[in-house]
Amino acid sequence: MADLFRLSASEAAARIREGKLTSEALVRSCLERIDSRESQVKAWVHLDRDFALAQARECDRSASRGPIHGVPFAAKDIMDTADLPTEYGSPIYKGNRPAADAACVALSRAAGGVLLGKTVTTEFASRVPLGNTTNPHNPAHTPGGSSSGSAAAVADFMVPLAFGTQTVGSVIRPAAFCGCVGYKPSFGEVSTQGVKQNTASFDTVGLFARAVEDLALFRAAVTGFAAKPLGAIPVNELKIGFCRTMLWDRAENYTKTFLKEAASALAKAGAKVSDFALGKPFEHFEAMGRRINDYEFSRGLTWKRSHHWNLLSEFQRDKLSAWLNVSYEQYREAEAVLEQCRRHLADSMKDIDLLLTPSALGEAPVGLSSTGDTSFNLLPTWTYTPCITLPVFTGPSGLPVGIQLIGHRNQDHRLLEAAQAVYRVFSKST
């Protein structure tokens, strides 16, 4: 196969395990793909070809170390790496070389993964305007963020697996915009040790791939969960809540139409689909979540604003005063509201398996001055529930539009199994 870079992670892992493919050949193919596309996509901030190939050759010489043995992966550049610079998207940390890998990176390498390089992130994985990374489907559009480079690299076949992080919507939204599969685990599912903190109450390590089974493989590598095939859940056993969320009016009209079509297609396939309302406890959910985000993130910048004010982006400097005005009492009030919402959602979902919502307002917006709107990412992130986006539709500009599935907290494997079943419904219809 000439285009080895197009292999899914599961396909590549199986071929390497069976002796039909070498890790070195796969890594070389990915590097060639990067060479041909990086000037347009601009997904990478650090690449060391010799380092990547050395890891691959070591994998080829050794017995299998785990589920992703010999498979290349990328790390978002807010994750510490001992062998590559880690700059957190900020000139303050230019040339920074951590002493150790972040836990998720170390676990991936221990499971046989080959660290291909570091991908572009916005400054400290925050809401700042994007850098130079473009959408691989159309360079005039944003790839989303803050995990911009990871989503773009996976979607453009530069690497089969990549890490991102999500504090609000930084995995699901860019995955939806770029047309790959993105997974935000339950809060605390994957260790954040060695990952630059944005908001401790919400930060979650997420995964990008091009197939649901690849996410299960990657998850096994970083959690120790048994690497086994996803169970075949019949669609007619799924109970799905069609959740427009409290922010439905913000969605593009075509997104609303797509979601209704998705609900109808799943019902036609046998799933039990019903409308799902969040209820009164969520009335101030968005405002309270943003209050927590502002409080924690701004205080995390204290050393940087005291010592490197001029190296912070203009966006951060302009917003800091407002963020710092959130009082401790307001912060605790917001925490109490969100905890009530988490309990209410868990109770409300007792009789259903998952929620169906939009992944984003619509297609990736034109321009690189924004990473897009986070409205439909708030619910799963701030309720600590797992979610996944699947590239199911194509919007009016020819760009991907995803659907988001939200599962029960700490039942991530069940969500992945359900997502596999849902995705097959749409694969058969295309």
pLDDT at residue 127 in the model: 82
Of 277, 315, 289, residue with least CA distance to 124 = 315
Write down the catalytic residue from 76, 118, 184, 196: 76
Query: Would the pLDDT of 130 be above 80?
Result: no
Query: Do residues 131 and 173 lie in contact, with contact meaning Cβ atoms separated by under 8 Å?
Result: no
pLDDT at residue 229 in the model: 82
φ and ψ at residue 342, rounded to 5 degrees: -60, -45
pLDDT band at 190 (very low <50, low <70, confident <90, very high): very high
Query: Hey, which residues does 273 pair with through a beta bridge?
Result: 240
Asked if 146 is an active-site residue, the reply is yes
pLDDT at residue 224 in the model: 87
pLDDT band at 429 (very low <50, low <70, confident <90, very high): low
**Average pLDDT over the chain, rounded to an integer:** 97
Query: Do residues 115 and 161 lie in contact, with contact meaning Cβ atoms separated by under 8 Å?
Result: no
Read off the pLDDT of each residue in 333-339 and give the average, rounded to a whole number: 99
Query: Do residues 355 and 241 lie in contact, with contact meaning Cβ atoms separated by under 8 Å?
Result: yes
Query: Hey, which residues does 297 pair with through a beta bridge?
Result: none
Q: What is the pLDDT of residues 373-417, one digit of tens each?
A: 999 999 999 999 999 999 999 999 999 999 999 999 999 999 999
Of 391, 384, 390, 392, residue with least CA distance to 412 = 384
Rounded to a whole number of angstroms, the CA Rg of the chain reads 20
Read off the pLDDT of each residue in 233-250 and give the average, rounded to a whole number: 97
pTM of the predicted model, to two decimals? 0.97
Of 198, 188, 168, residue with least CA distance to 377 = 168
Query: Would the pLDDT of 302 be above 60?
Result: yes
Q: What is the pLDDT of residues 86-111, one digit of tens each?
A: 999 999 999 999 999 999 999 999 99
φ and ψ at residue 325, rounded to 5 degrees: -75, -10
pLDDT at residue 427 in the model: 87
Write down the catalytic residue from 170, 201, 298, 359: 170
pLDDT at residue 94 in the model: 97
Write down the catalytic residue from 10, 29, 108, 146: 146
Query: Do residues 192 and 415 lie in contact, with contact meaning Cβ atoms separated by under 8 Å?
Result: no
Domains of the chain: 4-223 (3.90.1300.10), 235-282+336-429 (3.90.1300.10)
- Cα 316 to Cα 122, 149, 304: the distances in Å are 12, 21, 11
Give the H/E segment covering residue 240: strand 239-243
Residue 167 to residue 171: CA distance in whole angstroms? 9
In 364-413 the beta strands, taken as DSSP E runs, fall at 387-394, 400-406
Read off the pLDDT of each residue in 300-307 and give the average, rounded to a whole number: 95
**Hey, what are 168's tokens?**
């609000």
Residue 77 to residue 90: CA distance in whole angstroms? 10
Q: Which residues contact 252 (CB under 8 A, 6 or more apart)?
A: 361, 362, 363, 395
Read off the pLDDT of each residue in 208-221 and give the average, rounded to a whole number: 98
Q: What percent of the chain has pLDDT over 70?
A: 99
Q: Is 85 helix (H, G, I), strand (E, B) or coil?
A: coil
In 33-180 the beta strands, taken as DSSP E runs, fall at 44-47, 72-76, 114-119, 161-166
Of 90, 35, 74, residue with least CA distance to 159 = 74
Asked if 170 is an active-site residue, the reply is yes
Q: What is the pLDDT of residues 242-295, one digit of tens each?
A: 999 999 999 999 999 999 999 999 999 999 999 999 999 999 999 999 999 999
Read off the pLDDT of each residue in 139-153 and give the average, rounded to a whole number: 98
**Beta-carbon count within 10 A of 64 CB:** 14
Read off the pLDDT of each residue in 159-183 and give the average, rounded to a whole number: 99
